[in-house]
Amino acid sequence: MARDDNNKGKILGVSTEGYSPDAQTAVNSLLDEFERLKAELRDKQDKVSELETVAAEDPLVPLLNRRGFLRELNRALAYARRYDAHMCIVFLDLDKFKDINDRFGHATGDVALKLVANTLLDNLRESDIVGRIGGDEFALVLWNTDRKTAIVKAKALVAAVAGATLVTPEGRVPLSATAGVSEAGNEDSAESVLSRADTEMYAAKKP
């Protein structure tokens, strides 16, 4: 490994004057090995980071999976507690999704999920967080949003999904969804705030 001439006669900033040539060669060899191991460690860390990213992504749609979403939700809750920020969760579930799979097959069902995922992304801010946390279940974190505003936004998202018509071999099939909202509190965990939004969503599905 080439060394800077300005550092000639020094190792890690310490003068090597008086070292025998063999000693300097041995130390330089150790430093070369040290640099190689550092580079190898950086490479492994990059690979671990890449694997963590893949593990947090949904394999079908361009969203976080449940694991990734809960990780980001926990981070968001910690931030909200520290800075006393408003934050709401929206739990959105497709209506009668099983009927689509049964009638048109799972491939068409996958197309529907991708359509919904992209519709949500198109109607959210870059700072918001969205994930697919179940088969046809989606969850969102709305930053700096109180409950009243989040309810309005949830209704707008439901309307956007309804406007994203699914094209099938038998023609166009309308989609619909139901949403529930919960506002995060200081004592909330990721699971508790998500569970409340889930409960509100199921309550909204009732006739």
C-alpha pair distances (Å), 130 with each of 16, 71, 117, 125, 179: 57, 12, 9, 10, 14
Where does residue 149 rank: exposed (0-12), middle (13-18), buried (19+ CB within 10 A)?
A: middle
| Nearest of 22, 4, 21 to residue 13 by alpha carbon | 4
Cβ distance 137 to 92 under 8 Å? yes
How many Å apart are CA 196 and CA 185, to the nearest integer? Answer: 11
How many Å apart are CA 163 and CA 170, to the nearest integer? Answer: 18
How many Å apart are CA 136 and CA 109, to the nearest integer? Answer: 9
How many Å apart are CA 73 and CA 81, to the nearest integer? Answer: 12
Structure-token pair, residue 74? 């926990």
Q: Is 136 a catalytic residue?
A: yes
| Nearest of 133, 129, 155 to residue 76 by alpha carbon | 129
Catalytic residue among 128, 136, 188, 198: 136
Structure-token pair, residue 168? 């099938």
H runs (alpha helix) in 11-65: 21-56
Residues carrying an active site annotation? 136
